[in-house]
Amino acid sequence: MSPLELDFDSCYRAVSARDARFDGRFYTAVTTTRIYCRPICPARTPSSRNVRFYRHAASAEAAGFRPCKRCRPELSPGDPGWDLRGDLIGRALRLIDDGAADEHGVAGLAGRLHITERHLHRLFVAELGVGPLAVARTKRLLLAKQLLTETGLPVTEVAFAAGFGSVRQFNATMRETYGFTPSELRATAGGPKDAHATGPATLRLRLHRREPFDVEGVFAFLASRAIPGLEVADRTSYARTVPGGTITLTPRRDHIALDVAVDDTRQLARVVARCRRLLDLDADPDAITAVLGETSLAPLVKARPGLRVPGAFDGFELAVRAVVGQQISVAGARTLLGRIVARAAAPESLFPTPGHLLDTDLTGLGLTNRRIDTLKHLAARLAEGRIDLDGGQDPAEAVTGLLEVPGIGPWTASYIALRALRDPDAWPTGDLVLKKRMACLGIPDNHIERWRPWRAYAALHLWSSS
């Protein structure tokens, strides 16, 4: 949907009501102030003749508007419409969030999607009114704005953490786009002063979410599956090692606090994006409830409002979890996964990469020879780029590729699609726990089709019911 396709009256009503359901779905630009805001901005509602609506923050900035310092568009939850789309635009936006454009440029982004740079640009302009380079630049600027406002990270470090190639480029871009320098923003924001740490930078950022959000359900799910030596989790926090450091996620009243300690802040954009996917922060609980709440799952939906489908910090890691967890208990899978991490002896207790796992001897850990073969075949295909589980490949193609791996069947592929590929309609075919829960609740098999397009959330409701 392009900016011109937004329904003006509907958007204006949402802005007048400060309706939080629309936060992140569009942005309101005011022609008299040249500022763009979130729909929930507490400022006085502007006259309808002075507003324009844009589908993406980059579109508003390209039209010459700068972000509001009061409602802070950088804190908007992601648009669930983009988050769930498996087409080229949806995947490209997720890769941009993951830092792919900053690391490899737009040409590298297009290559990851197996299309030409020209075709990618054409798709973006048709959907958003701006190209992928403008979207990536806006992502960098908004992350920088959040870092300048919420942390004491030195301005030099902010520039590189946000993906800029130099401090000079950072200063020039911010002045050109926003009308002020990074130092001027920090001075007026009233946040922490510059910190000059000698070790890994320790930062705290706020990750906003849509309400309702089933905090207990998400954190309990992650805690029950935490891999020894890699993760530490309970119902109130989740911590793990990441390349170059650690992260901790802690629920707060209206957001998730992300504490990051890393020695390379250039990885920050990727960490933030993956934490959002891990906790499913950009889901649309109202849309999910509207469908599932009218089916045989209604009692479960009412009992667990805001239930989320926990994602994955890394696609390959999740795939290995799924393979190891075939036909054994969650506790048993944790034990085996902990042994794999320990045997791989990855730096800083990181989960092994596909290449690293290929070089690791997995015998003697309690895995069957068949399971080891499956893991090796899986790692080889990801290392060769034949399967991409981190956003670059069409989900249906990724599932097809997974099913070609010896030892991976429909249940495993569907579970990977549900969590790593973020397919909201994935259904773990043949799952015994789901069958038992449905039988206990008297739900016939033909009701599964009634839960489309949210069958992944239906599965979580059944798994978490007792």
**∠ Cα 326 328 331 (to 5°):** 120
CA–CA distance, 310 with 292 (Å, rounded to integer): 18
Beta pairing, strands 245-251 & 237-242: antiparallel
With beta carbons less than 8 A apart as the criterion, state whether 147 and 156 touch: no
* Residue 431 annotated among the catalytic residues of the structure: yes
Burial bucket for residue 318 (CB in 10 Å: 0-12, 13-18, 19+): buried
Question: What is the residue whose two structure tokens read 């950022």?
Answer: 205
Question: Residue 302 corresponds to which tokens in the numbers above?
Answer: 């009412």
Residue 204 DSSP symbol: E
Q: What are phi and psi of 354, to 5 degrees?
A: -55, -45
Burial bucket for residue 358 (CB in 10 Å: 0-12, 13-18, 19+): middle
Nearest CA to 72 out of 42, 102, 93 is that of 42
CA separation, residue 450 to residues 44, 75, 296, 372 (Å):
43, 35, 9, 38
Choose the catalytic residue: 37, 41, 71, 275: 37
**Cα distance between the two ends of the chain:** 41
CA separation, residue 202 to residues 4, 163, 258, 260 (Å):
42, 18, 10, 5
Residue type present at position 241: T
With beta carbons less than 8 A apart as the criterion, state whether 321 and 225 touch: yes
Residue 122 neighbours by CB distance under 10 Å? 13
- Catalytic positions, written as ranges: 37, 431
